[in-house]
């Protein structure tokens, strides 16, 4: 069962280009980052394959089209949440992955809870 409030945030992200720092509880893990629209998720994911070989470029084009089709389907109910700059915490260990701008996609129906804001890892802010 999906949380209606969380689905409302996802719909706002998908339809209004709204972003939101959020932390999710998913099956015992904590997923923290910035919620983005499905279109932005697919565009960013597509960009990771742009400069590759022919297969990678084909993937990039298909992902880009997927993002466009999500955006044009206004009445669709949301089934997935999309995030960028994501970190996943399991227990007391350091987040995985700990470096890079990580994109994340998860089923709304699998999320146990959430709070607004994201967890900042104090060890990664030291330069």
What does the mean pLDDT of the chain come to? 82
In a domain, 62, yes or no: yes
Which region among 7-21, 28-42, 51-65, 107-121 has the lowest average model confidence (pLDDT)?
Answer: 51-65
* Residue 126 counted as domain residue: no
pLDDT digits (tens, 9 = 90+) for 20-54: 999 999 999 999 999 999 888 888 887 776 676 77
User: Residue 12 and residue 37: Cα distance in Å, rounded?
Assistant: 8
How confident is the model at residue 117, as a pLDDT? 96
- Number of independent structural domains in the chain: 1
Residue 82 belongs to some domain of the structure: yes
Range of the domain at 68: 4-116
**For residue 125, is it within any domain?**
no
Asked if the structure places residue 31 within a domain, the reply is yes
pLDDT value for 77: 75
- Higher per-residue confidence, 57 vs 4: 4
Predicted model pTM: 0.79
CATH of the domain at 87: 2.30.30.100
In a domain, 71, yes or no: yes
Domain annotation covers residue 50: yes
Q: SS3 letters for the chain?
A: CCCHHHHHHHHHHHHHCCCEEEEEEECCEEEEEEEECHHHHHHHHHHCCCCCCHHHHHHHHHHHHHHHHHHHCCCCCCCEEEEEEEEEECCCCCCECCCCCCCEEEEHHHCCEEEECCCCCCCCCCC
For 2-15, what is each residue's pLDDT tens digit? 889 999 999 999 88
Domain membership flag for residue 33 = yes
């Amino acid at each position: 069962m999906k949380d209606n409030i969380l689905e409302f945030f996802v719909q706002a992200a998908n339809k209004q280009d709204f972003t939101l720092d959020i932390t999710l509880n998913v099956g015992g893990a904590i997923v923290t980052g910035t919620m983005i629209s499905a279109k932005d998720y697919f565009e960013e994911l597509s960009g990771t394959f742009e400069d590759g070989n022919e297969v990678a470029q084909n993937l990039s084009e298909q992902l880009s089209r997927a993002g466009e089709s999500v955006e044009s389907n206004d009445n669709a109910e949301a089934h997935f949440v999309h995030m960028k700059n994501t970190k996943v915490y399991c227990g007391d260990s350091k987040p995985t992955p700990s470096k890079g701008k990580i994109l994340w996609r998860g089923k709304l129906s699998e999320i146990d809870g959430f709070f607004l804001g994201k967890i900042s890892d104090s060890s990664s802010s030291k330069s």
